[in-house]
């Protein structure tokens, strides 16, 4: 009985959301997007869409989202938003980071992306427009992926900080004590695989259309580049998401090396007390009259 009641509640909620969605004015971007999607399906194979499409989405989104943080260093007004003001970015360091990043993207991540097509074929993941889920279902599944990835990231990231293995793998990511946007995926190849696995777990469990792959890539990159940006901008919409870590939370991890292990949400750090040093630091800064909020 309880299972039937839960199913009925879920069904009723879904119908209510669909009804409310039907009352909204038609999205003017839907028709152009539909046409573009149809053109893609008519002119490229599933392998090309899954492999090269995913690579293009990843690279375009990564560098597009990293661009504002890169430009901020040349804008004096933005300096007041930089978290570690005593550690400015160096062009030499950013160039080194970019070279390592491109190696990871094309020599480590690209082979992993090549498996996307076979994943969609094995699980019969659709590509067609007719079975594309509504925007709110895509958003809900991206949230589910974020929760799963955050859990994986917290425990594996914390393990990578163990004194017996830290210097062999994770130390590379901590080469820059004050992070900046493009540094988000700068890491040892093994770390790219270990922590990157968390990204795919949600996809394996929740993917019902190829569009979710690209939507989740977009959401995950937006989040990780934001927390590595080195800047805290109060009006950033992401900062209004409940339990969101944000740039200050992760920036402290790079500055302190210990604690604040989560990628997206704060609850695991709060539950295990691994954010204690972060909160103590904030209290200390408040007493010294320095802004931390």
CA distance readout (Å), 243 to 65, 213, 273: 22, 24, 15
Find the mean pLDDT for residues 126-155: 96
How high is the pLDDT of residue 213? 96
> Residue 3 has what pLDDT?
47
**Tens-digit pLDDT profile for residues 165-202:** 999 999 999 999 999 999 999 999 999 999 999 999 99
Q: Is the pLDDT of residue 23 over 90?
A: no
Question: How far, in Å, are 105, 148, 218 from residue 196 at the CA level?
Answer: 12, 12, 14
- Name the percent of the chain lying above pLDDT 70: 89
d(CA 268, CA 152): 11
pLDDT of residue 24: 53
Q: What is the DSSP code (8-state) at residue 91?
A: H
Q: What is the mean pLDDT of residues 145-163?
A: 97
pLDDT digits (tens, 9 = 90+) for 202-241: 999 999 999 999 999 999 999 999 999 999 999 999 999 9
How many folded domains does the chain comprise?
1
Q: Is residue 139, in this structure, part of any structural domain at all?
A: yes
Residue 22's CB is within 10 A of a number of other CB atoms, namely 8
Beta bridge partners of 244: 265
Output the pLDDT for position 6. 45
CB atoms within 10 A of CB 240: 9
CA distance 117 to 47: 5
Q: Does 14 fall in a domain? A: no
What is the Cα–Cα distance from 287 to 284, expressed in whole angstroms?
5
The CA distance from 212 to 130, in Å, is 15
Structural domain includes residue 11: no
Q: How far apart, in whole angstroms, are the C-alpha atoms of residue 125 and residue 216?
A: 15
For the chain, the distance separating the N- and C-terminal CA atoms, rounded to the nearest angstrom, is 48
Nearest to 72 by CA among 59, 85, 57: 85
2 pLDDT more than 80: no
210-227 helix and 246-256 helix, angle to the nearest 10 degrees = 60
The per-residue pLDDT for range 239-268, each reduced to its tens digit, is: 999 999 999 999 999 999 999 999 999 999
Q: Is the pLDDT score of 293 beyond 50? A: no
What does pLDDT average to over the chain? 90
- Give the confidence band of 287 by pLDDT, cuts at 50, 70, 90: confident
**Segments of 99-222 assigned E as strands:** none
What three-state secondary structure class fits 28?
coil
pLDDT confidence of residue 16: 58
- The CA distance from 55 to 46, in Å, is 14
Residue 58, domain extent? 48-77+88-287
| pLDDT 10s digits, 37-76 | 999 999 999 999 999 999 999 999 999 999 999 999 999 9
């Amino acid at each position: 009985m309880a299972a039937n009641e839960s199913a009925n509640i879920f069904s009723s909620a879904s119908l209510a959301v669909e009804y409310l969605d039907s009352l909204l004015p038609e999205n003017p971007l839907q028709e152009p997007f539909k046409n573009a999607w149809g053109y893609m399906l008519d002119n490229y194979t599933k392998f090309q869409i899954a492999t090269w499409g995913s690579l293009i989405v990843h690279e375009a989104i990564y560098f597009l989202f990293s661009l504002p943080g890169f430009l901020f260093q040349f804008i004096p007004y933005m300096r007041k938003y930089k978290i570690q003001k005593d550690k400015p970015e160096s062009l030499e360091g950013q160039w080194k980071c970019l070279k390592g990043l491109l190696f990871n993207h094309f020599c480590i991540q690209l082979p992993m992306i090549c498996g996307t097509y076979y994943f969609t074929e094995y699980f019969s993941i659709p590509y067609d427009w007719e079975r594309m889920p509504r925007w709110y279902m895509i958003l809900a599944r991206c949230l589910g992926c974020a929760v799963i990835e955050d859990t994986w990231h917290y425990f594996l990231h914390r393990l990578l900080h163990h004194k017996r293995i830290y210097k062999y793998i994770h130390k590379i990511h901590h080469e820059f004590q004050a992070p900046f946007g493009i540094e988000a995926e700068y890491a040892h190849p093994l770390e790219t695989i270990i922590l990157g696995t968390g990204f795919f777990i949600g996809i394996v469990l929740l993917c019902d259309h190829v569009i979710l792959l690209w939507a989740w890539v977009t959401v995950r990159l937006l989040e990780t580049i934001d927390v590595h940006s080195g800047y805290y901008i109060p009006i950033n919409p992401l900062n209004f998401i409940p339990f969101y870590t944000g740039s200050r939370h992760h920036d402290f991890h790079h500055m302190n090396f210990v604690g604040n292990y989560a990628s997206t949400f704060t609850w695991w750090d709060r539950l295990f007390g691994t954010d204690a040093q972060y909160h103590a630091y904030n209290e200390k800064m408040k007493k010294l009259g320095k802004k931390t909020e």
